[in-house]
Amino acid sequence: MKSGRPCAAGLQKWSRLLALKITDECINCDVCEPECPNEAIYQGVEFYEIHPLKCTECVGHFDTPQCVEVCPVECIPKDPDQEETHEQLLQKFLNLSEENAN
């Protein structure tokens, strides 16, 4: 019989944020690229892609991921292979800001 109490691993999982990725459902409409404050979105071989080292999920700029807001086909889900905490995303934003200032 399963316990109704969440396990520690489960709590840790839900307390994390995940980086975003663009799936092959992308229709190459080009709407998301100019909305990205980190210039993390680029035209890939077949469809648009997100550079994981540049995407902060808009942390530091906006309350919500802007690409997800504008995508007409909702093809930008969380990427389970690129788990990042809010603190990591914020640190990435600070690092990118410092790089851009130099």
With CA atoms as reference, report the closest residue to 30 among 45, 50, 55, 48.
48
Which amino acid makes up residue 19? A
Should residue 94 be labelled a site residue for ligand SF4 when binding is judged by CB under 6 A? no
**In angstroms, what is the minimal distance from the CB of 75 to ligand SF4?**
5
Distance of alpha carbon 36 from alpha carbon 40, whole angstroms = 7
Should residue 35 be labelled a site residue for ligand SF4 when binding is judged by CB under 6 A? yes
List residues binding ligand SF4 (CB under 6 A): 20, 22, 26-32, 35-36, 38, 40-41, 48, 50, 55-58, 65-67, 70-71, 73, 75-76
